[in-house]
Amino acid sequence: MPEELTKAPASIVDIEKSLRMVAGIIKQHGRELLGEFSLTPPQFLALQWLSDNGDLTIGELSNKMYLACSTTTDLVDRMEKTELVKRVKDPHDRRVVRIHILEKGHDIIRKVIQKRQAYLEEKTKHFSEDQMKGLEESLALLFSEMENK
């Protein structure tokens, strides 16, 4: 094993590996779920951003997704064709065009998240109440620390 990988405490090594493995399984399961809706992972990510943040411009959505504006434009074009989103003029500045999630997009987000939650519920059904509470608290704390760049 390269030396730089062995400097972390054993507990950090184990946690990182477990998180990487769990993330990989969740990602694969998520892709299978999205296939049921004929949705690509980037399309789902765009829908999530729009659902969580409201209408965004192409530039704002591009920044959140770490994509080039041209790539995001193509993505939005495809999502508009399948009636997941629509472009709308900003009521305060008609030069600005925002991407608005449509009911079909909201519906897909709800269904995918419900299926994700059911999957997670199935995988944690043998966890005790204390284990579930500890897991939730630990993940929330980790997320909070990561969010505070």
* 27-81 pLDDT per residue, tens: 899 889 999 999 999 999 999 999 999 999 999 999 999 999 999 999 999 999 9
> Mean per-residue pLDDT for 121-143?
96
> Mean per-residue pLDDT for 93-119?
95
Q: Number of helices (H) and strands (E) in the chain: give both, helices first.
A: 6, 3
Counting other chains too, the contacts that 67-76 makes at CB distance below 8 Å and 24 or more residues apart are 67/42, 72/46, 75/42, 75/43, 75/46, 76/46
pTM for the structure as a whole = 0.81
Q: What percent of the chain has pLDDT over 90?
A: 87
Q: Dihedral sign for Cα 126, 128, 134, 137, please.
A: positive
Q: Distance (Å, rounded) from C-alpha 97 to C-alpha 61? A: 12
For the chain, domains (ranges, CATH) are 3-147 (1.10.10.10)
